Chains A and B, each alone.
Chain A
Amino acid sequence: MKLYQIAHSRAGDKGNISTLSLIPYDPKDYEHLCEKVTVERVKEHLKDIVSGEIVRYEMSNISSLLFVCQNALLTGVTTSLAIDTHGKALSYALLEMQIEP
């Protein structure tokens, strides 16, 4: 199945960093996401977008994951050549990832 079937996400930008949250609709799916949505998987999935390191934070207090992606915004909002300079639409790229149910 695709991530968007069980989780939602919001993208944020700080300089050339894109932050992507991953929040299960049902907190019961949090452990499953922790197991399946690894940094390696996300790196492979977003290879056309993110060229830097990715750090994953597990926030069990709100049953959510946060992916902090370096070098994701073509230098950042002010000088990027992309249409979506902020990378606001990148949350939906993450949600396209296939995972095992």
Chain B
Amino acid sequence: MKQTIRIGCGAGFSGDRLEPAVILAEQGNLDYLVLECLAERTIALAQKRKRADATKGYDPLLERRIEHLLPILVKNNVCLITNMGAANPIEGAKKILEIAQKQGVRVKVAAVIGDELSEKLKEMSDEIFTFNNEDFAINLIKNHSSHNPPFSPLISANAYMGVEGILEALKTEAQIIITGRVADPSLFLAPMIHEFGWATDDYNLLGQGTVVGHLLECAGQITGGYFADPITKPVTNMDTLGHPFADVFADGSAIIGKVEDTGGVVNLATVKEQLLYEVVNPYAYLTPDVSANFTTVQLEEIAENQVKVWGGTGHEKPPTLKVSVGYQAGFLGEGEISYAGHNALARAQLAGDTLEKRLKADFPDLRTDYVGVSAIHRTDFERQIEPYEVRLRLASNADTAQKAALIGEEVEALYTNGPAGGGGARKYVTELVGIVSVLVDRKNVIPEIVLF
């Protein structure tokens, strides 16, 4: 058994920068590299790609990331754990092997599957429970079970799995482990359990390990990303922002750090912000592995860019697993136009009022935003500063793309029918994939591994 392992996180979302992971693998002296690339909606979009082409449905950046990383992972003997499998871990694994062959390297790859419930869910309608009082989700599934007409708005259903599948894969000594939907902290917790021989019912250890995983899972968000504010929260060299690693000890305590000479900062403030990020109940941060308690966590800055984390605890894991259900949610229509100079806001408001009169009847949920004034907070908290320039934005939902397009068309028509000096009109129509969450009994989700 090892006494300490080093786990790096080189991506916090699907579209994250490529080079921080390369720097981590090259210079970070890592045992494990994790790439977390799967947001709630990402997997539903991946399911749509898989439907169009059965060999797709893994992360769109997988090829680019693996091409850069593979030689370095092999050279430095770093194990990669990633959820870039998205809706199709098997095809993702095959793509990795294809790249390995091209590069002339041998690598053992394990795909973890079992999270996809899409077809099963319709049959399970009596065993589905509400998540956070989202009744809409239950109704959506029940009204579109297999007994209904062929058209269904349901796209996908993926359960959040825990460490089990990854642990099996680690036992096979696979160097690359590619999963679909797994709870983000589980990607980090699995190697800790594997290396330190923790019991999967030692909930205090799993709770503290989950704290470490949660701190790392958004990559640059603990090294100064989504944090910097000139003067109050200075961060240097954001153009070369380094991604984090943790030295984890057998007792679960860890030291968060980053590669020397990379940009960014790790300090008490960055760690506190990330610890509380997306936490709905700090006494019970639920994952498939544990109910982690963040209120016992202790932090200490022990050196520059080094923060020690310990004291996280936990209770028994929940009996149910969360499932993300993706569905067709119609279309979003948007239009934008700018006004600048004398009376800019008054002219923008005249344009907004004019279009509300024209569109409100057909688009009851029409939203009008004055960008530069109150678009983001819906108020300026009584600052009442006269802006030099304002961008008007209109947005609405619609059932069809054709109807959604009307919003942008109406904004564009302001060129010749609206107030003076309106410029830079843009129009957009976006197909919407909605996500709702439900809970299912654990027994319905069985992780499996496929070796390549």
Contact = CB atoms under 8 A, between A and B. Distances in A.
B435 interface: yes
Nearest to B297: A61
Interface in A47-83: 48-49, 57, 59, 61-62, 64, 66, 68, 76-79, 81-83
Contacts of A12: 276-279
Contact of A57 (B269, B282, B432): B282
B378 A8 contact: no
B416 interface: no
B369 interface: yes
B402 interface: no
Interface stretch (B53-61, B114-122, B391-399): B391-399
B401 interface: no
Contact of B295 (A13, A59, A84): A59
A8 B232 contact: yes
Interface in B372-404: 375-379, 381, 393, 395-397
Interface in A9-34: 9-10, 12-15, 17, 19, 21, 23, 25
A78 B40 CA distance: 9
A13 B218 CA distance: 13
A88 to B, nearest CB: 8
B232 A48 contact: no
A30 B125 CA distance: 47
A84 B376 CA distance: 7
Contact of A8 (B40, B41, B273): B273
A9 to B, nearest CB: 8
A96 B274 CA distance: 21
A99 interface: no
Contacts of A17: 132, 280
Contacts of B381: 93, 96
A10 B434 contact: no
B425 interface: no
A96 B381 CA distance: 7
B232 A4 contact: yes
A59 B282 contact: yes
Contacts of B226: 10, 88
Nearest to A83: B375
Interface string B423-444: 0000000001111110000000
A66 B375 contact: no
B283 to A, nearest CB: 8
A62 B275 contact: yes
B40 A77 contact: yes
A81 B395 CA distance: 6
Contacts of A64: 272, 276
B77 interface: no
Nearest to B371: A83
A83 B376 contact: yes
B434 A79 contact: yes
B417 interface: no
A68 B132 CA distance: 13
A79 B397 contact: yes
A12 to B, nearest CB: 3
A82 B146 CA distance: 34
A78 B329 contact: yes
B276 A77 contact: no
In this complex, which of A49, A62, A64, A96 has the most chain B Cβ atoms within 10 angstroms of its Cβ? A62
B393 A83 contact: yes
B98 interface: no
Contact of B297 (A9, A19, A62, A88): A62
B260 interface: no
B106 interface: no
A76 B280 contact: no
A49 B378 contact: yes
A10 B378 contact: no
Interface of A: 4, 8-10, 12-15, 17, 19, 21, 23, 25, 48-49, 57, 59, 61-62, 64, 66, 68, 76-79, 81-84, 88-90, 92-93, 96
10 contacts: A9-B273, A10-B226, A13-B278, A14-B280, A21-B277, A23-B273, A61-B298, A62-B272, A68-B281, A82-B367
> Which are the 10 A-B pairs with shortest beta-carbon distances?
A12-B278, A21-B276, A48-B378, A10-B273, A81-B367, A93-B377, A12-B277, A96-B381, A81-B395, A79-B434
Given A8-B232, A61-B296, A79-B397, 20 more contacts: A9-B273, A10-B276, A12-B277, A13-B278, A14-B280, A21-B272, A23-B269, A25-B269, A48-B379, A57-B295, A61-B297, A66-B276, A77-B435, A79-B432, A79-B434, A81-B332, A81-B365, A82-B367, A83-B369, A93-B377
